Structures are given as C-alpha cells and as structure tokens.
Amino acid sequence: MSLGAVLMLGAGADLPPAQLVRRAQQAAALDLINLLQTLHPAQLILSSPDFSWLPSTDNVILETDPPGTMFHFGTRLADLVEKYQLETVLYFGGGSVPLLNADLMREIFADLLAEETPLILTNNRHSSDWAAIRKTNVPLIREVNRDNSLAWYLSEHGHYPVKIVAENRPAVHLDIDTPTDLAILRLHPETQPQLKHFLMQRPELEAIPLRAVLDTLRRDASQVMLIGRVSPQVWLALNRVTRCWIRVFAEERGMVASERLKQGQVRSLLADLYQLQGAEPFFATLASMADAVIMDSRVLMASHYQFLPEERFASDLFWRVSDPWLDEFTQAAKNAPIPVLLGGHSVVAGGLYAIAEMLGA
C-alpha cells in the first residue's frame, strides 16, 4: 500500500495579527513533521508557496504551489496524490492538529494499515480539519472545493465509511485559526513542543483574558455566558467539569457551510440588541447576567460586515482597528466590567473543548 502524508500551508496575509497566526501554524507543522517522521516512514509532502521558514528539508518532499494560478483545494490535493501514486493519504491543513500526540497518531496508522477497503479517518465528518483516506479516488478528490468538506464530500459521493478519531478526546478537534486559539494552546499541557516554545515567546497573547475566564469557570456558582455557534455537545462538555451556571445564546450555526455568510444573509438577535443599545451598554447588559463571556464574535461581525482576517484577529487581541464599528466593539469588550473572550467558531467549539479538558485535568 503506497502511503503518504500531505501538509498544506498557505501564505496568509502580511499584517502582524495574521503573521502571528501563520507563524504559529508553521511551528505546529514542524511538530507534525517530526511526529510523522518518528512514527512511520511514509512519504511526507509539504505543499506551500513559501518554505523560507522550514529549518530542514531532510526527508520532506517540497511542492511549491503553482504561481499565477487560482488555488483550488481539491485540484491541488488530487494532483499530489496522483503524482506520488498515493493509495492512502493523510491530509493535514496548516495548524490542524496541535494537540495530536504520538498515541493518537499510532491509532490512525494502525487503522489505516489494518485493511485495504475504503475508509476515512477524521476529526469531524461535516467539517474536517484533517482526513486520512484509504483507497484514494483522485477524480472525486479533485471535486472538493474546501478542505473542511473533504471527509463529508467523499462519504456522500464516494460512499466512504467514516471513523471519527478520539471521540473521547474532543480537544484534539482544536486547530489554529485565530489568536484566541493560540492563547488556549499556550496554556494547554499537551501542546506540542515547537508550538509551545513559540507561544511562550508571544507576550501579546496575555492581552486575551483567558486566565481570568478560567478562574471564573473554576469558581463554584459563577455565571458564564456562551455566545455564537455553540453546539449542545460542547456545552455539555463544559457542564461536566464545572459547577457554574451556564447561559447560552446559540445562533447562526452553519452560516459558512450554508453560504449565508457568503451571501450576506447572517442574522443575529444579539446583533440587533447591540445595534439598539450601543457598544458599552451592550457589554454592561452582558455583565449584568454573567461573570465572564466566551463569544464567537464572528456572528456579530458578519451581521454587520465581512471583515478581513487581520481585522478579526486584531479584535481578538484587543488591538485598535481601523474600522470604526469594529474598533468600538473591540474596545468596549476590552473595557467591559467582566472578562470577555473573543474569537472565531473554535472559541465555542474545539477551543472550548480544550478549556474543558484543562479544567478537568
């Protein structure tokens, strides 16, 4: 069985908040490369527009993304699978598995090598950050538009059985998308060494009030508010390890997959409240109901405007933002009378699982 791993890292934007996330993804990729090389002599292919950050190219096949062409995920992955004749492929996005350890990687390899029938191993059938595919189907892979759709598309259109890895360790579902993910990984005990070293050198992450939120979650009878694309499963995971009262405002789950975001159709009841009250009164209202807030701020943002990643990341870090609306929102969250954790979907998904894991340790 011809087996290989494909890691894909994009270039990202050049502004400081996006650079921070990109450099963390690169550090996580180095950890993953080391883990793969240690455990299995598979072909290891790194696809990226730039390799200047890579300290060593030993035993790594470098594939520069074709310049001057529109990037299409499925086409790129299918081309690499075809070029290296991979019957079985492990695909990882940049920073997709910062909490994946050697034991879980051994489990993945054991499942892949156990038989030769078609199979997909992943962290999430509907929104995969990574996927291992046994018995690759190149034409089908070529049709996949986004990496998050890889497992779902192959299971729906190619009838691949799907196995979710480490269902009892949902924290491994955390991938690196935002600065808030980095703040969580900075404190998580199982973050891999190169990423951990990088994060410990980033004092700007201290501006994110994660420690204050953790202290609140550890305090009996405290009140914590979860806002955004919150699933019942992550709410339950947090409920198991705390003695808090948890208030949940869940809205716009699936706004990306359904293309409501792309079409400008995101609606938010809390955004309507924000517009009626204004920034400071809005956070004062939240503070009257909770001792800490964990907010997927992208829903509120998307109901107003589709901001660039570097603007969203700057908001997570409580930096000043050039857009007046977003700057007012960010500064009001920073100056709220309670700690407010801002982030993307992962702050109420994989990130919240990781927080629950830290609290239960």
Q: For the domain that residue 274 is a member of, what is the CATH number?
A: 3.40.50
Q: What is the pLDDT of residue 13?
A: 67
Residues 33, 134 within the same domain: yes
- Residue 16's domain is classified under what CATH number? 3.90.550.10
Domain count, the chain: 2
Q: Are residues 139 and 219 in the same domain?
A: no
CB 104 within 8 A of CB 92: no
Same domain, 223 and 331: yes
Task: Indicate the range of 36-45, 138-147, 181-190, 347-356 predicted with least confidence.
Answer: 36-45
195 and 297, same structural domain? yes
- 213/146 same-domain check: no
Residue 222: what pLDDT? 98
Say yes or no: 40 and 157 in one domain.
yes
CB 144 within 8 A of CB 102: no
In sequence order, the 6+-apart residues with CB closer than 8 A to the CB of 142 are 74, 75, 78
Structural domain that includes position 65: 3-171
Could you tell me if 90 and 141 lie in one domain?
yes
| Per-residue confidence (pLDDT) for residue 127, from 0 to 100 | 81
- Residue 361's pLDDT is what? 67
Q: In what order do the strands lie in the sheet with 223-228?
A: 245-250, 223-228, 292-296, 340-343
Give SS3 for 29.
helix
* Residue 124: strand, helix, or coil: coil
Same domain, 39 and 184: no
Answer yes or no: is pLDDT of 148 > 70.
yes
pLDDT-based confidence at residue 225 (cuts at 50, 70, 90): very high
Q: Once rounded to an integer, what is the mean pLDDT over residues 47-68?
A: 88
**pTM for the complete prediction?**
0.93
